Amino acid sequence: MHALTRHIHPGWLIIAPLFLLVVTLYLGPILNILWLSFTDPEPGLGNYAKLGQEGAQLRIVWTTVRICIITTIFSVVLGYSIAYAMVHAHRQQKSYMLTLLLVSFWISILVRTFAWLMLLGRKGLVNVTLEDIGLIAEPITFMRNELGVLIGMVHYMIPYAVLPLLVSMQSIDQRVMNASRNLGASGTQTFWRIYLPLTTPGLVAATLLVFILSLGFYVTPAVLGGGKVLMVAEYISVQLLVTLKWGTAAMLAAIMLMGVLAMLWIMSRFMKLSTVFGGATR
């Protein structure tokens, strides 16, 4: 024991149980999936080779990435506006806004998706209203297409975009904005040259969070896409439960994981990720 502690800092012994827990519960299964993707149904790169050969699988990956990018753009832009409004609202209104945001944040994704089902159907509230006021003659097809999926996903993702942005905006010193005005900058100049750069860490955090969470979306595409919009998560589930091609499922999961890690790595080349995820900014 003494010989051991001489080489290993005693601090490690204290965190050892947690460390083991993380290894067995996180790293283990992830390695298992990686392993599966190379070994099932037969050892080799077969599963990965198929991704390149089969247009269907590639198309699903591409659909997923495209939907996630669009979702991220809309969520972050809308989230930025909402966070901005919240930071600059009066205290009372701000707390109302935060409550509304958190309520929608806490409602189950299934409930929210079905709510959109009610609203967006051919005889749903949105189409009926638009027809009644004469804006459209024929109902708009909101569902069983990408539009419906995007509406559902953006709506779900907005709180995830708002929260990191809110933190970032709240930490801005109002005097810095005043300094910019005092030096003769217009509101627009102050926004582009001072406000936006200072909220960039929040913007990057929101973007990463929304994009990564979007990649794994399952319920919303399944319900609002109505089988017409197939995203990776749903496809993986089909491979696991219906066609029992675990190797293919594992391969797609591994690709997603690698994609996310690669993205984080690229980001880390440009900025300190610790500042993005709430670390010290100064």
Partner 1 sequence: MADPTQIGSLQIRNVSKFFGSFQAVNDISLDIQNGEFLTLLGPSGSGKTTLLMMVAGFLDISRGDIALDGASIATVPAEKRNFGMVFQGYALFPHMSVRDNVGYALSVRKRPAREIRARVDEMLELVQLQDFADRKPGQLSGGQQQRVALARALCFAPPVLLLDEPLGALDKKLRVEVQEQLKDIHRRVGTTFIYVTHDQEEALSMSDRIVIMRDGAIEQVGTPKELYERPVNRFTASFLGKSNFIEHAGKAFALRPEKIDLHPGNSHADARLRGTIRSMTYFGSMQRIIVAADNNTEIEVDIDVWRNPSNLAEGARVDLLWEDTAAVELQSG
- Of 153, 126, 140, which Cα lies nearest the Cα of 217? 153
Please, what is the minimum distance in Å from the beta carbon of residue 278 to partner 1? 17
Judged by beta carbon, residue 129 or residue 274, the one nearer partner 1 is 274
Rounded to 5 degrees, what angle do the CA atoms 57, 236, 219 make?
115
| 109 vs 198, beta carbon nearer partner 1 | 198
Nearest approach in angstroms of CB 194 to partner 1 is: 6
Q: How far apart are CA 235 and CA 249, in angstroms?
A: 8
How far is it, in rounded angstroms, from Cα 248 to Cα 57? 10
- CB of 173 vs partner 1, minimal distance in Å: 6
Q: Which is nearer to partner 1, 119 or 177 (CB)?
A: 177
CA distance 50 to 71: 28
In the bound state with partner 1, the residue whose beta carbon lies nearer, of 20 and 176, is 176
CB of 171 to partner 1, least distance (A): 11
Q: Which residues bind partner 1 (CB under 8 A)?
A: 173, 175-176, 178-186, 189, 193-194, 197-198, 282
Helices (H), 40-54: 46-53
Dihedrals phi, psi of 40, to nearest 5 degrees? -110, 135
Asked whether the bond before 10 is cis by omega within 30 degrees of 0, the reply is: no
Which residue, 24 or 186, is less far from partner 1 as judged by CB? 186
CB of 202 to partner 1, least distance (A): 13
Is the Cβ of residue 199 or residue 239 nearer to partner 1 in the bound state? 199
Distances (CA, A) of 166 to 96, 216, 253, 255, 279: 15, 24, 32, 32, 15
∠ CA 74-77-82 to the nearest 5 degrees? 115
Give least dist CB 282 to partner 1, A.
6
